Amino acid sequence: MVTIQTFNGSGADCSGSSGDVNRVLTLSNTGTTIQSGMLVYASGLALALTTEYTVSHKSSSTEITFLNRLWDDMTIVVNYYFQEPDSDSLINPYIDEYGEVVTLIRKSDKTYSDWGDESNTETRFGNIKAVFNVYGTDALFTTEGRFNNGDLTFFFKSTQDYVDISSKVERANGDTYEIKDVRAHGMQGGVQVREALVNKV
């Protein structure tokens, strides 16, 4: 089931001090948030993903990081959707049993040197199970919403956090893939599995 929520608040609801960069707003979601349809406003201005804010999509307490200076008196509005995870997923046990161990790598806060050079630190989440997939010739017939022949994807459990376009996937052999898109597959209103479209870095 998809739930729609709106956060109405101010910069004072975020971590850090008034005027700081990289202040974090924690949402009150109870299912994994979806980037599609998410709108973030500061003082009435729509913010752009990756250049003005980043998101850690989680199954609860999703975090939005405001990359530029944010003052306490600025109004913050976030429209977002989340999908209730299916704890009885039929697919999760198979990913646990047959999946490979991967590491999810997320870009952390944006920082600047004394000379104004931008850099990002990375946070690693290891021991995560996923199934690697390459779409074959049977996917040559492509309709809207389907992946193309040769596309690379990873299947993750329905409850897995940090599966979003801010992350990379690292396999045990060191190969690294950038997540470009995420699709949640479900039945009867519940998410059964998350599929991440990736490009090899």
> For 36-59, how does the pLDDT look when each residue is reduced to its tens digit (9 = 90+)?
789 999 999 999 998 999 998 887
Predicted confidence band at 140 (pLDDT cuts at 50, 70, 90)? very low
How deeply is 191 buried, as exposed, middle or buried, from its count of CB atoms within 10 A (0-12, 13-18, 19+)? buried
Q: Say what percent of the chain tops pLDDT 70.
A: 84
Per CATH, the homologous superfamily of domain 92-200 is: Bacteriophage SPP1 head-tail adaptor protein (2.40.10.270)
As a whole number, the mean pLDDT across the chain is 85
| Residues with Cβ within 8 Å of residue 32, at least 6 apart in sequence | 57, 58, 59, 62, 82, 83, 85, 159, 161, 163, 184, 191, 194
**Tokens of residue 102, six digits:** 């991967």
The model's pTM: 0.57
Predicted confidence band at 111 (pLDDT cuts at 50, 70, 90)? low
Give the separation between CA 42 and CA 27, rounded to whole angstroms: 15
Give the separation between CA 201 and CA 197, rounded to whole angstroms: 13
Asked whether residue 76 carries a pLDDT value surpassing 60, the answer given is yes
CB 72 within 8 A of CB 10: yes
Distances (CA, A) of 58 to 44, 71, 139, 162: 26, 25, 30, 6
Distances (CA, A) of 151 to 100, 123, 140: 19, 26, 11
Identify the pLDDT of residue 176. Answer: 95
Winning range, highest mean pLDDT, from 12-16, 59-63, 132-136, 193-197: 12-16
**Least trusted range by pLDDT, from 4-13, 60-69, 90-99:** 90-99
Give the separation between CA 134 and CA 124, rounded to whole angstroms: 24
In a 3-state reduction of DSSP, which class is residue 96? helix
